[in-house]
Amino acid sequence: MTTETTVAIAVPLEAEFVERIRAVDPSVTVLYEPDLLPPERFPADHAGDPGFKRTPEQEERYWDMLGKADVLYGFPNESPAGLARIAKENPRLQWIHAMAAGAGGAVKASGLDAETLNKFKVTTSAGVHALPLAEFAALGILNGFKRTAELAQDQAAKVWPELRTPTKLVNGSSLVVTGLGEIGLETARIARALGMKVSGTKRSVEPIDGIEEVADNNGLAGLLASADAVVNTLPGTPYTEKLFNREIFAAMKPGTVFVNVGRGTVVDDDALLEALENGQVAYACLDVFAVEPLPLNSPLWSHPRVMVSPHTSALSEAENRLIAERFCSNLRTFLDGGELPHLVDTVHFY
């Protein structure tokens, strides 16, 4: 006898992708009420319009719909508080698929205890964002090598320098990627296509095709001595907290380009600013910060050799399609009793 599985769509999603989820298996019932979901302001706006308010009747319908589900597509209201509420109110809940690649922070912020978290699984959309993040990392490297920040300043001041300054070739240069997971390996692929030699770090040190040298975080300083650019893709965990400190920045050779598309907590901002001032870091392209939004008094906003991106480098117009495709694949695995990929570690929360 086929077991029925009920999936509830908790976040904004186009109807065409809902139909793809329905088509995974006849045993799947999908609950989808778009009038209960905030309208998207842009493609893949998972939180939706913050001005959207449900009526009391709609609010009751929303939580009643989620309470009937075995599986949720997205955190309720795309928030830790929504996750905490549904985890306590829905005893049949078996699995939630998060929109974010780094959903561990939201799971931790929900404040749920270990016993409750063990009652269901949370998967992330890790990998879906690998290509846009890798493209952004390439942008950061090219910006640094081609001095685009200085060009923009000269353009704004209408300055045509009497002495032209050469730029660096990306081809033949060396890159270190911290975190050779899906994002790191996609970054490495693009970097190699540009002619770069790539080394990097991984928790389990093992040879990787196309990677010159692999080390763990303890060996990071040794890799940096010959690196022309460094891209961080590491998540925020107790083990990566301020990994990029004064010692690590001091291990870089002068003029290194630094890009962060991982988590802001991996970088000691004071140490980064010192490295920018003393020339160890020539340029920094930053999409993530320890405190977000970046405080108005942060020197990073106005630093002439820093690009500040508001944690948007993972966004792309294709994101909803890619996440829905990933969810459909995971749903097939779930129905077949397989092991779901990209599970949130509820001990270290990544």
Map residue 10 onto helix, strand or coil: coil
Catalytic hit among 292, 317, 332, 348: 292
Q: Is 292 a catalytic residue?
A: yes
Question: What whole-number distance in Å separates Cα of residue 27 and Cα of residue 73?
Answer: 17
| Residue position matching structure tokens 């065409």 | 16
Q: Is 61 a catalytic residue?
A: no
Whether the CB-CB separation of 342 and 123 falls below 8 Å is answered with yes
Catalytic hit among 97, 129, 147, 263: 263
Task: Give the helix ranges, DSSP H, for 52-123.
Answer: 56-67, 80-89, 104-109, 114-117
Catalytic hit among 22, 85, 311, 321: 311
Residue type, 266: V
| Cα angle: 301, vertex 304, 306; to 5 degrees | 60
| Residue position matching structure tokens 């961080």 | 232
Whether the CB-CB separation of 255 and 284 falls below 8 Å is answered with no
Q: Is 342 a catalytic residue?
A: no
Taking phi over 0 as left and psi of -120 to 50 as alpha, with beta for the rest, 115 belongs to alpha
Taking phi over 0 as left and psi of -120 to 50 as alpha, with beta for the rest, 21 belongs to alpha
Map residue 13 onto helix, strand or coil: coil
Whether the CB-CB separation of 174 and 197 falls below 8 Å is answered with yes
Map residue 200 onto helix, strand or coil: strand
Question: What whole-number distance in Å separates Cα of residue 129 and Cα of residue 139?
Answer: 15
Q: Which residues are catalytic?
A: 263, 292, 311
